[in-house]
Structures are given as C-alpha cells and as structure tokens.
Amino acid sequence: MRHAFTLADVEHELWLARAGDGHRLHLGARAIPVSLDRGLDGAATLRIDGARHHALVSVDGDHVHIHLDGETWTVRHADPVQRHGHHHGASADDIAQAPMPGTVIAVHVAQGQAVARGDTMVVIESMKLETAVKAWRDGTVAAVHVAVAQSFERSAPLVTLAPED
C-alpha cells in the first residue's frame, strides 16, 4: 500500500514493507533497509543504510513531530480517502483564505453583492496587525464565511466569490 507524506510542504509517496526483523522503505527508485527502536519519553533510534541516528519523536494523530540533529520537523501522513475529497464546490481560486489565525474586525460585503478588484471585503486582525482582505478580481460575493468578532484558524475560508464564467 502506498502512503502519502508531506514534509516541508512537499508530498512524498512511499511504500513500507517487512524485511526480516526490520522494514524496507521504498522511496522513488530506492529501497532502503530501516528500523526504529522507540524508547522512553520520545527517544528513538533509527537504523538506516546501516547507520544509527538518535531522534526525539512524538506522534499526534497523523502528524509525526521529529527532532533530529538540532532541527525540528513535522511529517504529515495524508489519509488516502481524505486526500481526494477536497475538490467539491468552489475551486481554491474563488476563496479568500485566512493567511493566519485571527479575529474579524469588520465585514464590508454581503452575499450577492458585486465587488470590484481592490474593494475591501473583510478586515481582520492577527497578532496586533490589521489587514484588509480585498477583492482580487471583479465578481459577485457567493458567500461570506465569517462574522464580526469571530475567530478563525489559518486557511479558514473568509469570502467566496462566484466562479467566473
């Protein structure tokens, strides 16, 4: 079974197979013998290509957090069902998404309203800074996803414009 993992915003497909006492990692054209011994408090020892590496590892759902050689990384395992479930309804090009978590300060548009490129649609505040979310093209507001004083997470949809013809 193939698995999709995301590391540093890049998706990797891999395949893990049993091999003797350990496993074999199939990545691209490479088949690499690997094994992992997990100790207490997140300590783990990776054996790969015959070399040993000490790491700290913590799993949170489908996220694996790893500290290795002074740097911290998060690897996300994409569920194969969810991976292909995103493509219903509006395309990403029609949605203004929150660039970071924050709070809504003002909403200047309503559903059905026509907007011109550059019109301020929503004003948000994140980490002390006010940002005007502006229409990136002419269009009609298909949906306003937030209300004044509402908090949102990063990547939350704020305003959707009707798809262009």
Partner 1 sequence: MTKPMREIAATARPFDTVLIANRGEIALRILRTVQELGLRAAVVHHASEADAPAVRAADRAIEITGRTPVAAYLDPAQIIAAAHAAGAGAIHPGYGFLSENAGFARAVAAAGLVFVGPTPDAIELMGDKVRARAFVARHGFPVAPSAVEDEDPASFVERARAVGFPLLIKPAAGGGGKGMRIVRDAAALPEELARARSEGARYFGDGRLYVERYVENPRHIEVQVLGDSRGEVVHLYERECSVQRRFQKIIEETPSPALSAAERDRVCEAAAGIARAARYRNAGTVEFIYGGGEFFFLEMNTRLQVEHPVTEMVTGIDLVREQLRIAAGEPLGMRQSDVRVEGHAIECRVYAESPAHGFVPTAGPVLILRLPEGEGVRVDSGIRAGQRVTTAFDPMLAKVIVRGRTRDEARARAHAALGDFVLLGCETNAGFLRRLLDHPAFADGAVHTGFLDAHPEIAAAPPPAPDLVEKLLAIAALSLRPVRDAADAVPPLYAAIGAWRN
Site residues (CB under 8 A) for partner 1?
Answer: 1, 3, 5, 7-10, 12, 14-19, 23-27, 30-32, 34-36, 38, 41-42, 44, 46, 48, 53, 55-60, 62, 64-75, 77, 99-102, 105, 126-130, 132, 154
Please name the residue ranges forming H helices in 3-87.
80-83
CA distances from 76 to 24, 63, 86, 130 (A): 20, 5, 17, 31
Identify which of residues 21 and 165 has a Cβ nearer to partner 1 in the complex: 21
CB of 74 to partner 1, least distance (A): 7
Nearer to partner 1, 32 or 114 (CB): 32
Residue 114 Cβ, how far from partner 1 at the closest point, in Å?
22
Tell me the closest approach of the beta carbon of residue 118 to partner 1, in angstroms: 11
Residue closer to partner 1 (CB basis): 18 or 87: 18
Q: How far is the CB of 128 from partner 1 (least distance, A)?
A: 5
Q: Which is nearer to partner 1, 123 or 143 (CB)?
A: 123
* CB burial string 60-84: b at 16+ within 10 A, e below: eeeebebeeeeeeeebeeeeeeeee
Smaller CB distance to partner 1: residue 41 or 165?
A: 41
Q: Which residues are CB-contacts of 85 (< 8 A; sequence separation ≥ 6)?
A: none
Given the DSSP bridges, would you call strands 30-38 and 151-152 parallel, antiparallel or unpaired?
A: unpaired
Distances (CA, A) of 115 to 96, 105, 108, 147: 13, 19, 10, 18
